[in-house]
């Protein structure tokens, strides 16, 4: 063919090097189903408004479904001369149908077609990620129930701080993931507005019915400004931001569990099935899955950065730069989906080394804050109580005593006469845990209430799993 496909404007064909540089088929072919779904909805609408006859519409629909089957079966040839998935599918349709195929592109442009396909793809991917988040939440709640009786040292600055129930710890991640899910739902709501019919940038003079297309494709509404929507990639940036938050949540958790599975911590036992060995050190058992979950967050941050820089300074409306939106979007979804799946595998397979944790719970004065609060409850000003208990801790350290409970009644009373024998009721980790009471705290009753809330919210079967593990 002289010139370019479907163009009367050009006398010469495109330079091969330009084709190779500008193609997007190598990565946007994964939009083929979404493109075909969009085209079928578009064709049906064209028929209703009289721009296609019922026969033409039927032929187009059948042709598109055949093309879909060919692509799915791997019988479809992708070539560099046809820039993207949209041109491939349309060209194949024209090969099948001739003039009827040449009518499909009525009242649309690739600019609105691309963003429609991408939105449909992102919407599905977003729903998959939501499902994966829910599965991970379930695994975490299940662990919370399995470890309901286990007490952990809680850390701030990675220094021992106060005791927390293991269930409280697991539910902390459930909450973080719940915020991620709610952010995804927000993104989905803003994304779910139909671009198709915006055409190149200004709309069309043809009598189309955009609402009908929106209904057919499950969009909640029709974009009210054609200039805006044909160049809108906010949804891609926003979604990848949420994916970045998910990746960051997973990376923090992975880091923690890498530490917890060291000899030094000894809190966690990871099953062989998720660990790897060393080629030289026969004894090694490495938590590579967790390290890669931590490491892959870098890619997602990279995708977000790419998209943010990509849209910076773009004038209205479509600019070819926008073709660069797809790879980072796909990569971010692929990475986060894989990480979420593996995170659930790790959570399901890991168990706390309850005895190792319990052995050293007496270290680090985890009950000091509760003892201070005991004094506050007796009317001692907080600053004073803080000082009194701080001095007791200092005294213990100087004398090599591990626990505040190792001090005698006389020594406690000497520090403050209000520290009577009943103060022992909050000493020791088990007592300290029982002393908590505020909403959202690690108090057993509070944690049980939260566990019950999540159990019903995630439709898990009632009845706690046995403690320990």
Is 83 a binding residue for ligand ARG by CB under 6 A? The answer is yes
**Nearest-approach distance from CB 25 to ligand ARG, in angstroms:** 8
Q: Find out whether 163 and 429 touch, Cβ atoms under 8 Å.
A: yes
**Nearest-approach distance from CB 321 to ligand ARG, in angstroms:** 9
Q: Find out whether 358 and 325 touch, Cβ atoms under 8 Å.
A: no
At 29, is the secondary structure helix, strand, or coil?
A: helix
CA 430 vs. chain centroid, Å, equals 36
Q: Find out whether 148 and 166 touch, Cβ atoms under 8 Å.
A: yes
Query: 166-191 and 110-146 are packed helices; what angle lies between their axes, rounded to 10 degrees?
Result: 170
Main-chain phi, psi angles of 165, to 5 degrees? -70, 140
x/- site string to ligand ARG, residues 110 to 149, per CB under 6 A? xx--x-----------------------------------
**Nearest-approach distance from CB 208 to ligand ARG, in angstroms:** 19
**DSSP structure class, residue 81:** T
**Nearest-approach distance from CB 322 to ligand ARG, in angstroms:** 5
**Nearest-approach distance from CB 218 to ligand ARG, in angstroms:** 22
Among the listed ranges 2-10, 107-115, 426-434, 441-449, the one in contact with ligand ARG (CB under 6 A) is: 107-115
Return the number of the residue (320 or 398) whose C-beta is nearest ligand ARG.
Answer: 320
Other CB atoms within a 10 A radius of the CB of residue 354 amount to 17
x/- site string to ligand ARG, residues 277 to 316, per CB under 6 A? ----------------------------------------
- Choosing from 68, 143, 323, 335, the residue that interacts with ligand ARG (CB under 6 A) is 323
Maximum Cα–Cα distance across the chain: 102
278 is catalytic: yes
Other CB atoms within a 10 A radius of the CB of residue 316 amount to 10
Return the number of the residue (111 or 335) whose C-beta is nearest ligand ARG.
Answer: 111
Q: Find out whether 230 and 201 touch, Cβ atoms under 8 Å.
A: yes
226 is catalytic: no
- Number of residues in contact with ligand ARG under rule CB under 6 A: 11
Q: Environment class of residue 301 by beta-carbon count within 10 Å: exposed (0-12), middle (13-18) or buried (19+)? A: middle
**Nearest-approach distance from CB 323 to ligand ARG, in angstroms:** 3
Is 56 a binding residue for ligand ARG by CB under 6 A? The answer is no
**Nearest-approach distance from CB 10 to ligand ARG, in angstroms:** 14
Tell me the chain's radius of gyration from C-alpha atoms: 31
Return the number of the residue (84 or 416) whose C-beta is nearest ligand ARG.
Answer: 84
Residues 6+ apart with CB under 8 A from 329: 118, 122, 236, 239, 240, 303, 307
Among the listed ranges 97-105, 231-239, 317-325, 339-347, the one in contact with ligand ARG (CB under 6 A) is: 317-325
CA angle, corner 76, sides to 73 and 82, nearest 5?
Answer: 150
Q: Find out whether 442 and 433 touch, Cβ atoms under 8 Å.
A: yes
Q: What is the torsion angle, in degrees rounded to the nearest 10, for the CA atoms of residue 215, residue 220, residue 224 and residue 228? A: -110
Return the number of the residue (136 or 191) whose C-beta is nearest ligand ARG.
Answer: 191
Return the number of the residue (31 or 412) whose C-beta is nearest ligand ARG.
Answer: 31
Question: Which of 7, 157, 205, 279 is an active site residue?
Answer: 157
Q: Find out whether 279 and 271 touch, Cβ atoms under 8 Å.
A: no
Is 322 a binding residue for ligand ARG by CB under 6 A? The answer is yes
**Nearest-approach distance from CB 233 to ligand ARG, in angstroms:** 10
Q: Find out whether 155 and 161 touch, Cβ atoms under 8 Å.
A: yes
Is 320 a binding residue for ligand ARG by CB under 6 A? The answer is yes
**Nearest-approach distance from CB 86 to ligand ARG, in angstroms:** 7
CB contact burial 126-144 (16+ within 10 A = b; e otherwise):
beebbebbbbbbbbbbbbb
Residues between 5 and 24 that touch ligand ARG (CB under 6 A): 24
Residues 6+ apart with CB under 8 A from 51: 103, 106, 107, 206, 207, 208
Return the number of the residue (177 or 322) whose C-beta is nearest ligand ARG.
Answer: 322
Is 28 a binding residue for ligand ARG by CB under 6 A? The answer is yes
Our separate counts of H helices and E strands in the chain read: 18, 6
Q: Which of 204, 58, 188 is nearest to 131 (CA)?
A: 188
Return the number of the residue (151 or 322) whose C-beta is nearest ligand ARG.
Answer: 322
Return the number of the residue (35 or 373) whose C-beta is nearest ligand ARG.
Answer: 35
Is 450 a binding residue for ligand ARG by CB under 6 A? The answer is no
How far apart, in whole angstroms, are the C-alpha atoms of residue 384 and residue 382? 5
Residues between 231 and 250 that touch ligand ARG (CB under 6 A): none
Return the number of the residue (233 or 374) whose C-beta is nearest ligand ARG.
Answer: 233
Is 84 a binding residue for ligand ARG by CB under 6 A? The answer is yes
The residues binding ligand ARG (CB under 6 A) are 24, 28, 83-84, 110-111, 114, 318, 320, 322-323
User: Which residues are part of the catalytic machinery?
Assistant: 157, 278
């Amino acid at each position: 063919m002289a010139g370019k496909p479907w163009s009367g404007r050009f006398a010469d064909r495109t330079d091969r090097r330009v084709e190779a540089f500008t193609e997007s088929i190598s990565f946007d072919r994964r939009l083929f189903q979404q493109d075909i779904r969009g085209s079928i909805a578009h064709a049906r609408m064209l028929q209703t408004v009289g721009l296609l006859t019922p026969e033409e519409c039927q032929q187009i629909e059948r042709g598109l479904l055949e093309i879909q089957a060919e692509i799915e079966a791997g019988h479809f040839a992708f070539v560099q001369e046809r820039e993207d998935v949209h041109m491939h599918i349309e060209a194949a349709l024209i090969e099948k149908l001739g003039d009827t195929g040449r009518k499909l592109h009525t009242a649309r442009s690739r600019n609105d077609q691309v963003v429609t396909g991408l939105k449909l793809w992102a919407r599905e991917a977003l729903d998959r990620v939501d499902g994966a988040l829910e599965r991970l939440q379930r695994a975490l709640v299940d662990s919370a129930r399995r470890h309901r009786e286990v007490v952990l040292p809680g850390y701030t600055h990675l220094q021992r701080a106060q005791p927390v129930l293991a269930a409280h710890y697991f539910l902390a991640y459930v909450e973080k993931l719940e915020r991620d899910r709610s952010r995804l739902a927000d993104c989905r709501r803003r994304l779910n507005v139909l671009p198709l019919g915006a055409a190149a940038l200004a709309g069309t003079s043809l009598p189309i019915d955009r609402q009908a297309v929106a209904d057919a494709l499950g969009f909640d509404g029709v974009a009210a400004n054609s200039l805006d929507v044909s160049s809108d990639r906010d949804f891609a940036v926003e979604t990848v931001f949420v994916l970045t938050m998910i990746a960051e949540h997973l990376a923090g958790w992975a880091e923690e569990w890498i530490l917890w599975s060291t000899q030094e911590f000894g809190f966690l036992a990871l099953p062989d099935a998720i660990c790897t060995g060393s080629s030289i050190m026969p004894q090694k058992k490495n938590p590579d899955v967790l390290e890669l979950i931590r490491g892959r967050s870098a890619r997602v941050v990279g995708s977000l950065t790419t998209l943010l820089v990509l849209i910076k300074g773009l004038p209205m409306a479509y600019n070819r730069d926008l073709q660069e939106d797809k790879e980072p979007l796909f990569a971010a979804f692929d990475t986060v989906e894989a990480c979420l799946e593996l995170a659930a595998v790790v959570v399901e397979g890991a168990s706390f080394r309850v005895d190792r944790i319990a052995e050293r719970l007496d270290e680090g004065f985890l009950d000091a804050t509760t003892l201070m609060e005991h004094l506050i409850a007796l009317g001692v000003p907080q600053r004073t109580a803080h000082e009194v208990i701080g001095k007791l801790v200092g005294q213990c350290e100087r004398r090599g005593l591990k626990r505040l409970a190792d001090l005698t009644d006389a020594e406690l009373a000497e520090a403050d006469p209000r520290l009577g024998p009943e103060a022992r009721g909050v000493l020791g980790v088990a007592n300290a845990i029982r002393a908590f009471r505020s909403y959202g705290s690690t108090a057993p009753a509070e944690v049980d209430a939260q566990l019950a809330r999540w159990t019903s919210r995630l439709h898990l079967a009632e009845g706690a799993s046995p403690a320990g593990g």
